[in-house]
Amino acid sequence: MKYWFGSFMLFVMVVLSSHAANAEVGKENDPCKTRVPADQLAAAKAEKNPLEGNAAAIAAGKAIFEGKGTCFTCHGLGGHGDGDAGKVLDPSPRNFSNAKFWDCKTNGEMLWILRNGSPGTAMIPAVSTGIITEDEAKQVNAYERTFKGK
């Protein structure tokens, strides 16, 4: 009886700890942590997106985000980082509605990620793989800004 109880408790502990590990998946990573390598960070931060706030670019960016860019599959149609393909990822896809993210990330850092991917994450290097062009990266970046605070 004692032995049975011990095994049962062990089983409960294993189930609980695997549950705790699962809870990490889908958890948003610190939005201020940069993924751009240190030697390229200053240049990335200094880059501006000339299409920020441009209505035509935002409309084009929306079509890319929801279409050939496949961004929505991970980041979600509303940009909350909750797309179906993103649910199993750790770290989870960025939540673009988080205002804190926009307080610390620049357009230039985001464009760097679009060109090169995000080291240590599942984020795709969309430009260098030819999924989107350099201009389309700027359009989709302009669109992402519209998720802020939504």
Could you list the residues that contact ligand HEC (CB under 6 A)? 29, 35, 69-71, 73-75, 85-86, 89, 91, 93-94, 105, 109-110, 113-114, 118, 121-124, 126, 132, 140
Q: How far is the CB of 74 from ligand HEC (least distance, A)?
A: 3
Q: How far is the CB of 17 from ligand HEC (least distance, A)?
A: 24
Q: Are 96 and 127 in contact (CB under 8 A)?
A: no
Residue type, 46: A
Q: How far is the CB of 5 from ligand HEC (least distance, A)?
A: 42
Residue 55, token pair as written in the block: 């209505």
53 vs 132, which CB is nearer to ligand HEC?
132
C-alpha distances (whole Å) from 9 to each of 3, 12, 13, 20 are 10, 5, 6, 16
Dist. CA 66–CA 69, nearest whole Å: 7
